[in-house]
Amino acid sequence: MTVKKRYLLVVLIALFSACRQNRQVRVIPVADFFKSQEKGSYAISLDGKTLSYLKAQGKKQNLFVEDLVTGKSAQITQLNEKNINYYFWASNDEIVYYKEKAGADRLSDIFIINKTGANERRLSDNGTSRMRVLKDQLIDGKFLLVSSNKRDSTVFDVYRLNVRNGHMDMAAKNPGNITDWITDSKGKIRLATASDGVNQTLLFREKESQAFRAVVTNNFKTTLKPIAISDNRPDIIYAISNVNRDKNALIELNCITGKESKVLFSNDTLNVVDAQYSESKKTIAFVICETWKKEKHYLDTTVKKLYEKLDKLLPGTESRIIDRDKAENTFIVRTFTDRNPGSYYLYVADKGTIRKLSDFNPYVKEAEMCEMKPVSYKARDGLKIQGYLTLPMNRIPKNLPVVVLPHDGPGRRNSWGYNAEVQFLANRGYAVFQVNYRGSSGYGKSFAAAGSGELGGKIKDDINDGVRWLVQNKIANPRKIAIYGTGLGGYIALNSLYSSPGMYACGGSNSGVINLFSYLKSIPPFWKTNLQMFYEVIGNPLTGGDRMRQISPVFHADKFRAAVFIAQSPKDPRSNSGEAIQFVKELKKRNVNVTYLEKEYSEFSPQGEEVRQTLYASLEQFLSANLSKK
């Protein structure tokens, strides 16, 4: 090939590449990203013979069952006004479901119904109290073990609820400091967690007739999370622990000595975030570690072979078993990737058959979605910060408009997988930046502890340092950067707008915290035992009131210069909508460009599809108006 021809070939390749980079991307309708599932919440009966699911009917949901032998389906609930929040199979023939409680937020009535739709009756009538089923199976064919705060709104006692006559008898009275009750596989209350506000004590008893005794006490920043009580060795529990280590490990804990008897999985660079216990095999099947992505590490070879079979049947996707029958032969499987919200499948192991049940959102096409890539950088104090960057399709990754999405935390994190909000923003041409700032979970004890008391401080600095990293690498257009979040992520966004002037062209908050004092006051009575933990992480209004005022956006309307988007629901018990409205008025008095959206419901509620569409259509207009002209 001559030099001239080689040069011409290079030019043609460059032109072809440029054309591909600038090829038009279809603007996907807002509604397509945020559709409610037509079918979902699949479950399997204990004997594996009946499939159940929730099906949308207009704005309502009802419970359906399918006989897996005959293939016949039937609707078994007839709800016209309220939706089902949660349900489970209590036996081979009966389903317990939680229905939204009239006139109350986040409260539910509990019902039981036969799989034929017969003999439906309400089990709970607790007024404004809350009830939670501790063990989702019937004991002695008629009892459910439940926790309820009907006696005292600040604590949960344990009751045996007779599903035949509705009677509730107390099984364990809370002395005032128990924050969690844990049963063994037979539904016996064997473990409890007590808290003095900062330190947590694991309590144990061999039999329900005995008194609880303390096993071990740790500061709340230390993890000791029971996974299961051994069926073969009743004094041994399986637990996720970072006691005397930075990263979580899976251990066996001897409840007689209070010492680790064995380490089942440990790695200095991997953090265990979950573990799966098999009641049929009476052993731990695998642990889940999370770096930039969740990965299974198998402790049972038969379970490993099961997932290897699923990988062959469902290639190129992540598989999660979300339900199974008692024999662990029939499974409900959920798949997903970062570019695909995924599907539900029914897998029968002994037959090796798999059947697609439904798509999570059939309106989303994987080929049109964008890759979610892990990134890392150094914060100003040298701490390694990790997160994710999703770049818009067919755009050269240079000088892009960016939307920063701080997660709702601390104590939470962004994870790899499909995220409708991220994909929606990327489809609109924005690079989406998600930061797991210090205090985020999944990176070890020291990283989590580094975020305590740092709202408005080093947490904000971690995010700003990430933005500077994007600018230095010429990915971000420094004049076209927005920050937006939900909950405490919304707080971080608003705090950053006024405390980091010039960095963000605009910002927004959805159901966000604008006043840390009000946020702490909104903590429900049954979380009061953990109030001191909130003080350590967020701030103590008694000893640190000046600083809390300094970093609460509501007190600094005079410092806002960039455009602000605020979405709020008056029905949200954790936010003060009146305070938000007054804050918006103060911003407008100072000629700040404000978009205020009042949501009728939470976008996460069963009625939330229209709310989601309205929310993101408004957010799209806000971002376009405040970033495109910069």
56: CATH: 2.40.128.660
Q: Other C-beta atoms within 10 Å of 145: how many?
A: 23
Q: How confident is the model at residue 606 (pLDDT cuts 50, 70, 90)?
A: low
Indicate the SS3 state at residue 495: helix
Instruction: Please give the Cα distance from 380 to 363 (Å, whole number).
Output: 42
Residues comprising the chain, all counted: 630
Q: What is the DSSP letter of 542?
A: T
Q: What is the DSSP letter of 398?
A: S
In a domain, 265, yes or no: no
Cβ–Cβ < 8 Å for 421, 490? no
Kindly write down the DSSP assignment for every residue of 35-84, as one continuous string.
PPPSEEEEEE-TTS-EEEEEEEETTEEEEEEEETTT--EEE----SS--E
Give the total number of structural domains in the chain: 2
Cβ–Cβ < 8 Å for 391, 373? yes
Instruction: Please give the Cα distance from 308 to 314 (Å, whole number).
Output: 10
Q: Is the pLDDT of residue 15 over 50?
A: no
Instruction: Please give the Cα distance from 338 to 415 (Å, whole number).
Output: 10
Global pTM value: 0.92
Instruction: Please give the Cα distance from 562 to 71 (Å, whole number).
Output: 58
Q: Residue 23 has what pLDDT?
A: 64
Instruction: Please give the Cα distance from 556 to 494 (Å, whole number).
Output: 10
In a domain, 283, yes or no: no
Which of 118, 111, 134 lies closest to 208 in space, CA to CA?
134
Domain boundary among 122, 141, 167: 122
Instruction: Please give the Cα distance from 534 to 531 (Å, whole number).
Output: 5
Q: How confident is the model at residue 574 (pLDDT cuts 50, 70, 90)?
A: low
Q: Other C-beta atoms within 10 Å of 290: how many?
A: 19
Q: Residue 518 has what pLDDT?
A: 93
Q: What is the DSSP letter of 366?
A: G
Q: What mean pLDDT, rounded, does the chain reach?
A: 91
Q: Residue 105 has what pLDDT?
A: 53
Q: Residue 530 has what pLDDT?
A: 81
Kindly report the CATH number assigned to the domain that includes residue 476. Answer: 3.40.50.1820
Q: Residue 106 has what pLDDT?
A: 56
Q: Residue 337 has what pLDDT?
A: 97
Cβ–Cβ < 8 Å for 297, 271? no
pLDDT, tens digit, 9 for 90 and up, residues 373-396: 999 999 999 999 999 999 999 999
Q: What is the mean pLDDT of residues 28-46?
A: 94
pLDDT, tens digit, 9 for 90 and up, residues 63-119: 999 999 999 999 999 988 778 888 999 999 999 998 876 544 556 788 999 999 999
Specify the range with the lowest mean pLDDT, choosing from 23-27, 165-169, 289-293, 351-355: 23-27
Residue with tokens 């936010």: 575
Helix (H) or strand (E) holding 298: strand 294-298
Instruction: Please give the Cα distance from 267 to 452 (Å, whole number).
Output: 25
Beta bridge partners of 109: 99
Instruction: Please give the Cα distance from 227 to 238 (Å, whole number).
Output: 5
Structure tokens at 271: 């953090």
Percent of the chain surpassing pLDDT 70: 93
In a domain, 550, yes or no: no
Indicate the SS3 state at residue 389: strand
In a domain, 209, yes or no: no
In a domain, 375, yes or no: yes
What's phi and psi for 519, nearest 5 deg? -60, -45
Q: What is the DSSP letter of 529?
A: G
Indicate the SS3 state at residue 285: strand
Structure tokens at 285: 């099947």
pLDDT, tens digit, 9 for 90 and up, residues 509-565: 999 999 999 999 988 888 877 888 889 899 999 999 999 999 999 999 999 999 999
Does residue 315 have a cis bond before it (omega within 30 degrees)? no
- By CB atoms closer than 10 A (0-12, 13-18, 19+), residue 79 is middle
Beta bridge partners of 216: 202
The number of helix segments (H) and strand segments (E) in the chain equals: 12, 35
Q: Residue 13 has what pLDDT?
A: 40
Cβ–Cβ < 8 Å for 536, 410? no
Structure tokens at 295: 């990965």
Strands (E), 500-562: 506-510
Q: Residue 102 has what pLDDT?
A: 54
Q: Residue 12 has what pLDDT?
A: 41
In a domain, 246, yes or no: no
Q: Is the pLDDT of residue 226 over 80?
A: yes
Residue with tokens 């007024």: 127
pLDDT, tens digit, 9 for 90 and up, residues 116-159: 999 999 887 656 788 888 988 889 989 999 999 989 989 999 99
Q: Residue 14 has what pLDDT?
A: 43
Which of 434, 506, 443, 436 lies closest to 470 in space, CA to CA?
434
Instruction: Please give the Cα distance from 613 to 389 (Å, whole number).
Output: 24
CA dihedral 331, 332, 337, 340 (to 10 degrees): 150
Provide the H-helix boundaries in 275-419.
Answer: 301-313
What's phi and psi for 76, nearest 5 deg? -115, -15
Cβ–Cβ < 8 Å for 563, 622? yes
Range of the domain at 476: 370-514+559-627
Instruction: Please give the Cα distance from 305 to 518 (Å, whole number).
Output: 51
In a domain, 503, yes or no: yes
Which of 93, 151, 156, 90 lies closest to 123 in space, CA to CA?
90
pLDDT, tens digit, 9 for 90 and up, residues 423-446: 999 999 999 999 999 999 999 999
Would strands 121-122 and 343-348 be described as parallel, antiparallel, or unpaired? unpaired
pLDDT, tens digit, 9 for 90 and up, residues 486-516: 999 999 999 999 999 999 999 999 999 999 9
Q: What is the DSSP letter of 211?
A: P
Q: CA 519: distance to chain centroid?
A: 20
In a domain, 162, yes or no: no
Q: CA 49: distance to chain centroid?
A: 31
Kindly write down the DSSP assignment for every residue of 569-607, as one continuous string.
-TT-TTS-HHHHHHHHHHHHHTT--EEEEE-SS-TTSTT
Domain boundary among 90, 107, 122: 122
Domain boundary among 106, 122, 138: 122
Instruction: Please give the Cα distance from 313 to 300 (Å, whole number).
Output: 20
